Amino acid sequence: MSAQNLLGLLPSELEALARELGASAYRGRQLATWLYRKGVFDLEAMTDLPKELRERLRGRATVGLPAIERVVPSRDGSRKFILRLADGGTIHSVLMPDDDRQTLCLSTQVGCGFACAFCHTGTMGVERNLGADEIVGQLLLAQTALPAGERVTHVVLMGMGEPLANYANTVKAIRIMTDTRHGLGYSPRRITVSTVGLVSGIEKLAREDLGVNLAISLHATTDLVRERLMPVNRSWNLDALLGAVRRFPLPARRRIFFEYVMLDQVNTSLDDAHRLARLLRGIRAKVNLIPFNDWEGAEFRRPPLSTILAFQSVLLDAGITTTVRWSKGEDIGAACGQLSEVRAAAARRGEPMNPKMAKPRAAAARFELSGVGEAVASPPRGEA
């Protein structure tokens, strides 16, 4: 049997493993505490575990974190982690400080298969799902990068990939994060899952008892435009998507977040704003307008500020909380981060690199990752 990564296991599974190795469930809980509470990943350092159990564990399991290939700091304080997985795949997480918060934006897949027209990751296709260990691992790693006493306070699953297309591993990772007894102990109110609009996944999520926030990448107010921007709309159109959202069990005083990327001349007219207000009628919603983040080869433009503000006013006048999320980390040229992914993926396939990718459009070039986290990174105080 191949070695199992302890970091992808629920505390209850660690208990079962301890029993399987001839120890008590209590030892499994101790193990979970070391890994998830104390952030200690070296079995040798877990001194209160019997030596024999540690030896048996070493024979059966590993404690594997992604390797940090590079940390790219931004002048605004955010940091992008470029992580190398055991099979050579590359993913990103982005840590974004904001007042008393540290929000971490996590990836759930290597690449993404949904091919949204405005998204750079969408041009790559999906390589594979991340395991629960690799999702939790991103959080544990970011945690080690913070000074003692500081903690990642909020988690958004808005990095590379579609969380609901990697449903089981995403949900398992969230359960490890929210296990208050021996897991990481995060309140589900501090965790946000963002989806392209995978209705089957939203419906499944509605039946779990997770209590996490849901963010919907809406991006258009008519099926015609949404279909052009997001192929997933051909499987589940606006009606189906908003129906699923209306049925989603929303805890008291919580809202559904809607992300709306502002693409000049595409989805930013005042008619769009009025239609959006109508579409969201009856939904406890919060809208995050995300000015488009440019990348080489993109066929879209960020609209002028006046357009964004006019759009926002229509929504505000309709009584919908609406914020504009300006991206952080422009200076860390997140396109460079994607460049390394492209290079890594191409190298693995033995292909030359796309020379176009070698020249990101200077400071304007941004990979969607460092911008998106903020889409719901800062819900109004008291909400999370």
Residues that bind ligand SAH (CB under 6 A): 116, 118-119, 158, 162, 194-196, 217, 259, 261, 290, 292-293, 368, 371-372, 375
Which residues lie across from 290 on neighbouring strands?
A: 261
Phi, psi at 131, each rounded to 5°: -75, 165
Rounded CA-CA distance 229/311 in Å is 19
For the CB of residue 293, give the shortest distance to ligand SAH in the complex, in Å.
4
Cβ nearer to ligand SAH, comparing 35 with 261: 261
Strands 4-5, 61-62: pairing is parallel
For the CB of residue 224, give the shortest distance to ligand SAH in the complex, in Å.
18
Helix axes 305-317, 270-279, angle to 10 degrees: 30
Rounded CA-CA distance 220/275 in Å is 9
Tokens, residue 46? 């877990």
Rounded CA-CA distance 249/157 in Å is 19
Cβ nearer to ligand SAH, comparing 195 with 233: 195
For the CB of residue 165, give the shortest distance to ligand SAH in the complex, in Å.
8
Q: DSSP per residue over 349-379, as a string?
A: TTPPP-GGGGS--GGG---HHHHHGGGTTSP
Centre a 10 Å sphere on the Cβ of residue 259 and count the other Cβ atoms it contains: 21
Cβ nearer to ligand SAH, comparing 134 with 259: 259
Cβ nearer to ligand SAH, comparing 272 with 368: 368
For the CB of residue 211, give the shortest distance to ligand SAH in the complex, in Å.
19
Cβ nearer to ligand SAH, comparing 116 with 140: 116
For the CB of residue 331, give the shortest distance to ligand SAH in the complex, in Å.
17
Cβ nearer to ligand SAH, comparing 181 with 234: 234
For the CB of residue 234, give the shortest distance to ligand SAH in the complex, in Å.
15
Residue 20 neighbours by CB under 8 Å, 6+ apart = none
